[in-house]
Amino acid sequence: MFEDSLVESGGRLKTKSKYWAIGAFILNGGILLILILIPLIYPEALPKQAQAMLLAAPPPPPPPPPPPPPTPVHVVKIQSEMMNNQLTAPSKIPKVIKQITESAAPPPSSGVAGMGGDPNGAAGGVMGGILGGIGSGSAPVVKAAPPRKIAVSSGVMSGNILVKTQPQYPAIAKAARIQGTVILQATISKTGTIEGLTVISGPPMLQAAALDAVRSWRYKPYLLNGEPVEVGTQINVVFSLGG
């Protein structure tokens, strides 16, 4: 019986100690939580010294260092040696005096010799020759060179045609009933002959016949300010089955 009583008592004690431990843990946790929450809910409960430490502002930062003192500027006064447009003696005598060497003067040119005794100047002179030319009225006349090539419209150049060969209508183009206008870009020389000839547009079957015919054309020389010049112009060759 004593053994049974010991076993029974041991089981009861273990069960009670387990519940007591849980209850004690909950109680202690609740007390600790209350102690933490009371200062947050009621800050008046804190000591005044602690409140003063919490509400006190942090000390201000230290002031910046003072700026460095300005560097003194030495003003150098330059005294002019000119007074009333006259050169005065220097106040100090320099220790070393530098000598300035001048190069030899250039020899006189032959053109200046015309300024001697003859008022009209010698043949090789400069001043006399210029003045003499102005006074005598025999100044050279400068003529502008004519341009090498100018552009003239096809209507103007059509009036200068001397020889105009009619093109031969190609048989294959006539059989295909092809007609139209071949536009050529031509360069006419100073003597009126065709020097450069290129096709701008037109039916391909008619271009060769137009080139062969226009190469034999001749024009009167085109004059500009009385001088013959080269001319760039367009030439229209018309092919028509009804003509």
17 Cα distance to chain centroid:
95
pLDDT band of 193, cuts 50, 70, 90? very high
pLDDT band of 2, cuts 50, 70, 90? very low
Give the number of C-alpha atoms closer than 13 A to the C-alpha of residue 84, restricted to the C-beta side.
1
Query: Of the ranges 67-76, 140-149, 150-159, 195-204, which one carries the lowest mean pLDDT score?
Result: 140-149
> b/e string for 112-140 if b means 16 or more Cβ within 10 A?
ebbeeeeeebbeebbebbebbeeeeeeee
Residue-wise pLDDT for 216-233, tens only, equals 999 999 988 889 999 999
Predicted confidence at residue 76, as pLDDT, reads: 62
Predicted confidence at residue 1, as pLDDT, reads: 44
